[in-house]
Chains A and B, each alone.
Chain A
Amino acid sequence: MKALPEILKEIRPEFDFTVSSDFIADGMLDSFDLMTLVATLDKTYGISIQGTDIVPENFKNLQTIGALLRQCGVQA
């Protein structure tokens, strides 16, 4: 199963997601990237992230995304 930084890199190959603490503020993910990311996470982990959880705060950095995945039952 792909690691989270790898998934992010596939969406925005030009960025290094291990060095930022705020992907949104740093312009690394826009609202459409979030939807692409959610669709990929849903497929990769066999989950369905709730539409109401698709807010910038949940996708700020690897920690917040990890927390969201754990909330969805993923053993991250």
Chain B
Amino acid sequence: MNFIFRRKRITGILTVLPANERSFLEEMKNFNFPEARSLKLKEVMGYDKRRLVKPGVCVSDLAVFGLQHLFDRGVLNRDEIDALLLVTQSPDHFIPPTSNIIQGRLGLKPDMLCLDINQACAGFVVGLIEAFLLLEQESVRKVVLINGDVLSRKTSPKDRNIYPLMGDAASLTVVERDAEDSVIHANLKMDGSRHEALMIPAGGFRLPSSPETAVLEDAGDNNLRAKDHLRMDGSAIFNFVQVEVPPLIESLLASAGASMDSVDYFLCHQPNRFMLQKLADKMKVPYAKMPSNVVEHFGNGGGATLPIAITFNLANRLRNGHCQVCVAGFGGGLAWASMLMRLGGLSCCEMIEFP
């Protein structure tokens, strides 16, 4: 599915990382694997440190902290937010929407749209598509897109496949109309038939949480996880990314009449270093143009990792200049989406820590 947006732009990106940091080397002792095997994996995947929220901290806490920072810095005025989109898979509650909770905590105006979007690692691009669609309306001049998750609380410490890579984070992206005659191309695909590749089986209405769903089970691969925990079919997800993402980006560039060389950076969701380097090899993109360094510093924080890759690597460059970027998100659903745009001249492009 293709999209074209005219006269829209990102004017600010803020990422919020919990101050609490854990290291793979400390946590290795919990896994049912020999140390040597875990160390090899650490090197291949790029695991090192990750950021986790303290017990009790929720997505709305990270979001409110980030928005308050933007208000205090004069980047944003609370009354000018016409839409608040929150992309999360770890809401504060099932009901009410967490975006409404954020609205209430900050005393934002009633004349606005608050919308929760349940999307995983394609969520930054999906959220941007939604934001740009909203800006077509006269009444919507400024949208704040928040990508946030605290999924570390839903992973089993005895699951080496997923525990060491999960991180918690939030990002806030300010999106508005562009006075210049700019064009943004985007595309996306979804495949619900493969939804089981990344899921939390229990806790919803299909299988409500119970004492039984909290019991750790050996899935047959020496990892222990409960039905209440996030689980991932590593092979399936890896293969899906390698097969689906390069043609998606190729198709995007073709629609835009753009060459690979014209793109300064390919900013992708950050699952792990190995996957991104294989993607770069397949697309014949030099590693310097496709940063893969977020997981080793912060862990995989879901939809927020893509904006973290931006604020971690390109903050200075995007505050002072512009780049032609292709952003690509891919993951649970399954969903995969990409977008080509000129990014820069940002009034804010930074990382802050949530204490």
The answer to A–B direct touch (Cβ < 8 A) is yes
Which A residues are closer than 8 A to B by beta carbons? 11-13, 27, 30-36, 39, 48, 50-52, 54-56
Complex-state Cα separation, A27 to B36, whole angstroms: 18
In the complex, which residues of chain A have a beta carbon less than 8 angstroms from the beta carbon of B221?
A: 27, 30
A42 CB to closest chain B CB, in angstroms? 9
B210 to chain A, nearest CB (A): 29
Bound Cα distance from A52 to B41, whole angstroms: 20
- Cβ of B239 and Cβ of A54 under 8 Å apart? yes
Given A27-B220, A27-B221, 15 other A-B contacts at CB below 8 A? Answer: A11-B37, A13-B36, A30-B221, A30-B222, A32-B161, A35-B41, A39-B44, A51-B239, A51-B242, A51-B275, A51-B279, A54-B238, A54-B239, A54-B278, A55-B235
Across-interface contacts of B235 in A (CB, < 8 A): 31, 34, 54-56
Q: Which residue of A lies closest to B245 (CB)?
A: A51
With A27-B220, A52-B282 known as contacts, the answer to whether A35 contacts B239 (CB < 8 A) is no
Contact A52 B242, beta carbon cutoff 8 Å: yes
Contacts of B281 in A (CB 8 A): 48, 50-51
User: Does B234 reach chain A (CB closer than 8 Å)?
Assistant: yes
Q: Is the CB of B234 within 8 A of A31?
A: yes
Q: Is the interface of A mostly helix, strand, loop or mixed?
A: helix
Instruction: Write the nearest CB–CB distance from A61 to chain B, whole angstroms.
Output: 17
Distance (Å) between the CB of A59 and the closest chain B CB?
10
- Could you jot down 28 A-B contacts, CB within 8 Å? A11-B37, A30-B221, A30-B222, A31-B238, A32-B41, A32-B161, A33-B37, A34-B235, A35-B41, A36-B37, A36-B41, A36-B44, A39-B44, A39-B274, A48-B281, A50-B278, A50-B281, A51-B238, A51-B239, A51-B278, A51-B279, A51-B281, A51-B282, A52-B239, A52-B282, A54-B238, A54-B239, A54-B278
Flag whether B73 is at the interface (Cβ < 8 A).
no
B36: nearest residue on chain A (CB-CB)? Answer: A13
Q: B45 an interface residue at 8 Å Cβ cutoff?
A: yes
A63 → B minimal CB distance (Å): 20
Whether the Cβ atoms of B234 and A32 lie closer than 8 Å is yes
* Cβ–Cβ < 8 Å partners of B161 in chain A: 30-32
A36 to B: closest C-beta gap in Å = 5
B40 within 8 A of A: yes
Give CA–CA (A30, B278) in the complex, Å.
Answer: 19
A34 to B275, CA, bound (A): 12
| Interface residue? B243 (CB, 8 A) | yes
Shortest B273–chain A CB gap in Å is 10
Most buried by B among A36, A51, A55: A51
Say how far B340's CB is from chain A's closest CB, in angstroms: 22
- Contact flags B76-111 to A (C-beta < 8 A → 1, else 0): 000000000000000000000000000000000000
**A50–chain B nearest beta-carbon distance, Å:** 6
Asked if residues A55 and B239 are in contact (CB atoms below 8 Å), the reply is yes
**Across-interface contacts of B37 in A (CB, < 8 A):** 11-12, 33, 36
Q: Are B239 and A50 in contact (CB under 8 A)?
A: no
Tell me, in angstroms, the Cα distance from A51 to B282 when the chains sit together: 7
Complex-state Cα separation, A10 to B145, whole angstroms: 47
**Contact between B45 and A35, CB atoms less than 8 A apart:** yes
Closest to A14 in B: B34
Report the bound CA distance from A36 to B37 in whole Å.
Answer: 9
Name the A residues within 8 Å of B45 (CB-CB): 32, 35
Chain B residue contacts of A55, Cβ below 8 A: 235, 239
- Taken together as a complex, chains A and B put the C-alpha atoms of A52 and B246 apart, in Å, by 11
CB of B137 to closest CB in A, whole Å: 41
Residues of B contacting A36 with CB < 8 Å? 37, 40-41, 44
Interface residues in B39-56 by Cβ distance below 8 A to A read 40-41, 43-45
- Which of chain A's residues have a CB closer than 8 A to the CB of B43? 39
